[in-house]
Structure 1
Amino acid sequence: MYQIHGLREKLQLGKSVVTVELEPPKGADPMPTMLTAKHLRGYVDAVNIADSPMATLRMSPIALSHIVQQDLGLEAIFHLTCRDRNILGLQSELLGAAALGVRNILTLTGDQPSRGDHPDAQGVFEVDAIGLVNIAKTLNEGQDLAGKSLNAKTDFFIGGAANPGAEDQEVEFSKLRAKTSAGVRFVQTQPVFDVETALRYQERVEKEGLPVYVLFGILPLKSGKQARFLNEKVPGISISQEIIDRVEAFGREAGVEIAQELYHALKPHVAGVHLYPLNNLQTVYDVLDIRVDQSVAL
């Protein structure tokens, strides 16, 4: 099912990779996401499939990741949260993912159900993201959490989230050290909007000798209003006044240019980037400077 050089192998070989965030459909038809993924094939190294993001109901990320890989030959990274499953359910989901050939996992704690479209649902949160990493690593070693042997071990490439712009970098790196100790081998970060923040984070990862590949998040801004909201309301995101002014004056065009500048500046120095297209496939083409005859919007 996999090419010889999948995401893990490309990173090990030192290839600069690009991943893109996709949202599963709300319904039993995978085609909306599949059509988008189809038009990314050959341009990106993997697509992320979210796990009911913002606690809103969506198709299973494991099932959809399998379909993307099986039908399109495009590698997927499935998100798995601790919100909806206890440790028995998490292990079961992971064994099913392994059987389907879905081996890249992004481990997340998950949003509270009260934020989503089923606010009366009960969150589980029996473990947090690090506990989930430990579960995946234990299954990779051929055992379950009860210490009993599996009939075949899993082979997950375990990822986690990171935040280069966190206000307290000591706390941020304490979390990162804990994640890598538990078994995380790649992280995808919250969006960064300046080269210095990203490179400073990368330099510290290297200085501490942490065994992790960092894929830095890039979010092309659409408007000055969006830039101000992210800068003021989202912890760990800092956007300079210069960038806010550029996007205020020139809108999406400036947002794409800023993302392009960041992508090209980071590419020689980091393991890769993770694009947040915000439901606009053309944004991916624009940032990566891909020329296509006809693009398809999400």
Structure 2
Amino acid sequence: FILETFSDVDELHEGLRAVRSLSDLPVIAQMTIGDDGLTHYGTAPEIFTKQLAEWGADVIGVNCSVGPAGVLEAVEKMVKVTDRPISAVPNAGLPKDVGDRKIYLASPEYMASYARRMIEAGARIVGGCCGTTPEHIKKIRDYVASVVPRHQPVVVSREVVAAPAGVAAVPLAQRSRFGTKLARRELVTSVEIVPPKGVDPAPMFAQCRALKAAGVDAVNVPDGPRAQSRMGALLSSVIIEREVGIETVTHYSCRDRNLLGMLSDVLGASAAGLRNILIITGDPPKMGPYPDATAVFDIDAIGLTNLVYRLNHGLDPGGNPIGKPTQFAIGVGVNPAATDLDRELSRFAWKVDAGADFAVTQPVFDIAQLESFLKRVEQFHIPIVAGIWPLLSLRNAEFLANEVPGVSVPDTVLARMRKASDGGKDSALAEGVKIAREMFALVKRDVQGIQVSAPFGKVEVALEVFK
């Protein structure tokens, strides 16, 4: 049900009660505001949002009366006071009298640009009210296709996930060698190897053989990092394990497949023998060389974690038995350097509730920052694997600091790399490895594992960190 264009929140409350007396279907409850950002009766968006959430509205929104700019301002206030999904449905601007007609002058491009900003601000549903044409809607769809919403939906927690009678998840220690070490609280080591851009896996195999010979526990295989097209992570992992005999931790992004595709991929990965999966939401296409590619995001990393957790209990997303359960050690990402750390920890809590077995951090360069983060996540009681990136050069450090989302490089590290670069490339590389070794020595006592990136495929540099 959609209850829309209410000026009086108490009237909307009565409408909500009436619907609830007849049906349990979801209800979208939308108020309307004026140019001053308030309802006709002077109620602010953050106030009626709290009230509607308390009264049980499934989605809370604003529609009609004002154009995109006014609705965006309301959305920015509403998302701060609720975790309920927010809808934003403005008019196509304010009407103008043209002859004997009222014309809405907001162009499709203008409406679409604001729809994108509304999603980035936290809205989950966007559209148009008075004056909106099919062309407006088409343009909105095109503009928002690759946007990652700021606020993600809460998923069912593991406490309410019911497995079929007689079907229990395989213990973590029995799912994989990687899972065994995690379950035993032994330090696990892994190195990230990015799949090739072409079809020749030979260099990747050579890198993985070097890691196996050095005693590294697993190879991390990214899935289209930074929205770049590369050999698929699932198939790369399968052929690495088959040809080299080292376990993989397969990254899986929610960006590129719909729910059915994800389910098929995960079931196929299990049948092919993959046992370790790291679930990520994925970088939006606009970051990569194909910015017009469509991002799907049917579910995010939280939702997919819950899906795989269910599969580990022999259930598909609809609660139907699948027979033999999957046996994945389920990993998730977490960022100790997140700008909004409270929100990051909130999402991490949802991931743990959804069924995560372990977490891998973004590359860490600030030990104090990591230690503070680890204290705050002790309550979740799952293994943390710290990411470490050996810097190759000052340019590499500056790139990570300024152009890679989620990575924070302290000024002290940049200063060390700047000073070392004065001595040439070899000096800068040696300093980058030294910094990584220092991080390894400091964090290995406090975390369950270490993941070292092999920058630009330089496995020999990654292995230097473990020495």
Taking structure 2 as the reference length, the TM-score comes to 0.58
- Is the aligned partner of 1:287 residue 2:432? no
Partner residue of 1:86 out of 255, 258, 266: 258
* Aligned pairs for 1:19-98 within 5 A: 19-41=190-212, 42-98=214-270
Letter paired with 2:282: G
Deviation string for 1:64-110 (max 9, x for gaps)? 21121122221101111111111111010000000011011111111
Structure 2: distance between partners of 1:26 and 1:241: 33
SS at match of 1:190: strand
SS at match of 1:243: helix
Q: Compared with structure 1, are the counterparts of its residues 119 and 195 closer, same or farther at alpha carbon in structure 2 (3 Å cutoff)? A: closer
The residue that corresponds to 2:444 in the other structure is: 267
- Return the offset for 1:169: 2.2
CA contact (8 A) 1:186 1:215 kept: yes
Structure 1: distance between partners of 2:387 and 2:268: 29
CA contact (8 A) 2:174 2:180 kept: no
Structure 1: distance between partners of 2:338 and 2:291: 28
The residue that corresponds to 2:114 in the other structure is: none
- Is the aligned partner of 1:16 residue 2:187? yes
Q: Compared with structure 1, are the counterparts of its residues 79 and 236 closer, same or farther at alpha carbon in structure 2 (3 Å cutoff)? A: closer
* Aligned pairs for 1:172-191 within 5 A: 172-191=344-363
Deviation string for 1:23-79 (max 9, x for gaps)? 111233321211111100042111111112222221221112112112222110111
Structure 1: distance between partners of 2:321 and 2:179: 26
CA contact (8 A) 2:223 2:232 kept: yes
SS at match of 2:360: strand
Deviates most, 127-136 or 230-239? 230-239
- Is the aligned partner of 1:136 residue 2:308? yes
- Return the offset for 1:7: 0.7
* Superposed CA RMSD: 2.0
CA contact (8 A) 2:314 2:325 kept: yes
The residue that corresponds to 1:120 in the other structure is: 292
Taking structure 1 as the reference length, the TM-score comes to 0.90
The residue that corresponds to 2:454 in the other structure is: 277
Q: Report the number of matched residues.
A: 286
Q: Percent identity?
A: 39
CA contact (8 A) 2:176 2:275 kept: no
SS at match of 2:416: helix
SS at match of 1:15: coil
Partner residue of 1:221 out of 391, 398, 405: 391
The residue that corresponds to 2:381 in the other structure is: 211
SS at match of 1:80: strand
SS at match of 2:211: coil
Deviation string for 1:206-239 (max 9, x for gaps)? 2x2x132111111111222332343344454333
Deviates most, 24-33 or 183-192? 24-33
Structure 1: distance between partners of 2:248 and 2:371: 26
CA contact (8 A) 1:24 1:61 kept: yes
Structure 2: distance between partners of 1:114 and 1:128: 17
The residue that corresponds to 2:365 in the other structure is: 193
Gaps of 5+ in 2: 1-172, 421-427
Letter paired with 2:390: P
Deviates most, 195-204 or 177-186? 195-204
- Structure whose CA Rg is larger: 2
Structure 1: distance between partners of 2:255 and 2:201: 23
Q: Work out which structure has the larger RCO, using CA pairs closer than 8 Å and 6 or more positions apart in sequence.
A: 1
Letter paired with 2:190: T
Structure 1: distance between partners of 2:466 and 2:356: 27
Gaps of 5+ in 1: 290-298
Q: Compared with structure 1, are the counterparts of its residues 65 and 223 closer, same or farther at alpha carbon in structure 2 (3 Å cutoff)? A: same
Structure 2: distance between partners of 1:237 and 1:60: 24
Structure 2: distance between partners of 1:5 and 1:98: 12
Structure 1: distance between partners of 2:383 and 2:200: 34
Structure 1: distance between partners of 2:176 and 2:324: 23
Structure 1: distance between partners of 2:442 and 2:292: 45
Partner residue of 1:246 out of 389, 398, 416: 416
- Return the offset for 1:247: 1.0
SS at match of 1:39: helix
